[in-house]
Chain A
């Protein structure tokens, strides 16, 4: 028996509204108990719908949801023992912070499980967990956005669910607060050993927090893997360009060996890669070149050549936009700010990190 959650060929078609496109179109996924898994993708790709089907708020049009091997597709929301943290916090405005947190412990379903004293202790404990111990008597409207989301988090965690679902919980917070909360969430996940299923369209957030990421597009999972796999070895052109904003240059496989690959660009220049080869010679591919995997050199000292088209001072680094010779494509390069700068229009060579450069389908 597998512990955790399994999605089997999950599909959703919203009826009404004249909808004809699948909001979720055949999602398969295994989420092990205790994992932090993120659904990542652009707005409208079906992340929320998938999460809401797991929570039980939406009924799948077809497919199955399994929990520890048992089919829960038709189980009512309140039987699922999964707690959701909403983007708009969904706090109860007429209750105090403490009453909000206690809500899930005071339902009829929990009757007799905890004494009043135990409930008070648990609420206090969980308010401390999210650093809100001194706000117990306040009403939601007296709190800041970040504090509201902490209350909502405490309310979800206090009933000790195995699974916590998050739908863009930091989406309405400012950038600084978002960073602080990301670190909080990682800490909570590490301490609590619960499964976190997290929805976001922010790839930095997904990379920083997740054990595994499912990159989604138009209702489908394009790739499911660790942040490192997804970043370093994107399975498709779509994933490569969505994650880390890689630039992809058209190329043809010149030579394919068991320990590496040579590809030839449109201008005849050749790059070698350490990527284990699964492509045949002569095949058209896209060569993924990320800014941090390239460095500039004087002409003749690198595999590729081009001209500086633009340079942008970014504080941490200088970003050069380089146009490859023979119109082979545009790439971006990050260079340390303390090196002598390259002038606009200057001919340059590019060194490619063979370990990191990667090919995807054409």
Chain B
């Protein structure tokens, strides 16, 4: 601790950062239980009314389902393409491999709005009708890199001797995948799936540009918010925060595996 010099300064800086990060979220959570039609003081008493109302609102229920549907599709796309890509990256050397690994990471670094605009103009060029599926495709291509990097890191950590041992013992490609590779990467693959799902669930920039007539949950919330911050919106937001936190925590825990110490050299 001494290395940081001023202990009080560091502590208060950290507290300030945490305050500005989490205080707004805390406010939303608190007011979602407030027995009042307005978001704001005074606090009139505890109620679950807004949660009950939320589950009778067709618009919100539909958009929750739409978000889940998109999220599942995104997970499917990122596994379907990301998993073979990670295995190929681990197993084969080819010219430009390092460059490829960096390019694959680009969607994480690029602002969502850029990815969205690019995909939109592409879809329009090839005359795709905008729908939940175009959102799925857009987010899926962008989030595939999570699967690739997580699984690739695990494969590198596993080393090649288990694979070689299996082949040496006469296993075919499928047996190798089913009995050796998949059990080895299962937890990091699962983690990547959860992370991809929860990012997709909250995503708005790409979705905003690629959406057709149907809306996902963040889009619906946004349109509701343009009128006013109702307690119902607070309730939805609280649920989203809760689900996201749970998914991310499980996802991170799974992808680190049991021995997180040896992990982290991508």
Contacts and interface: CB of A to CB of B under 8 A. Distances in A.
B184 A88 contact: no
A225 to B, nearest CB: 29
A78 B167 contact: yes
Interface of A: 16, 55, 57, 77-78, 82-84, 86, 88, 90-95, 103-104, 107-110, 152, 155, 159
Contacts of B168: 55, 57, 77-78, 82-84
Given A88-B159, A88-B161, A94 B183 contact: yes
Interface in B124-169: 159, 161-162, 164-169
Given A16-B93, A92-B180, A94-B184, A107 B164 contact: no
Interface of B: 93, 159, 161-162, 164-172, 175, 179-180, 183-184
B188 to A, nearest CB: 14
Residue in B93, B164, B166, B169 whose Cβ sees the most chain A Cβ within 10 Å: B169
B170 A92 contact: no
A55 B169 CA distance: 11
Nearest to B168: A84
A347 to B, nearest CB: 58
A122 to B, nearest CB: 14
A94 to B, nearest CB: 4
Contacts of A90: 161-162, 164-165
Nearest to A80: B168
B129 to A, nearest CB: 45
18 contacts: A16-B93, A55-B168, A77-B164, A77-B167, A77-B168, A78-B172, A88-B161, A90-B161, A91-B162, A91-B165, A92-B183, A93-B184, A103-B166, A103-B171, A107-B175, A109-B172, A159-B169, A159-B170
A78 B165 contact: no
Contacts of B179: 92, 95, 103
Nearest to A107: B170
B175 A86 contact: no
A102 to B, nearest CB: 10
Nearest to B162: A90
B184 A104 contact: no
A107 B169 contact: yes
Contact of A155 (B93, B161, B169): B169
Contacts of B171: 78, 103, 107
A327 B160 CA distance: 53
Residue in B170, B171, B179 whose Cβ sees the most chain A Cβ within 10 Å: B170
Contacts of B162: 90-92
Contacts of B169: 83, 103-104, 107, 155, 159
Contacts of A108: 172, 175
Nearest 3 CB-CB pairings of A with B: A104-B169, A90-B161, A90-B165
A86 B168 CA distance: 11
B165 A84 contact: yes
A1 to B, nearest CB: 26
B254 to A, nearest CB: 15
A107 B165 CA distance: 13
A93 B175 CA distance: 16
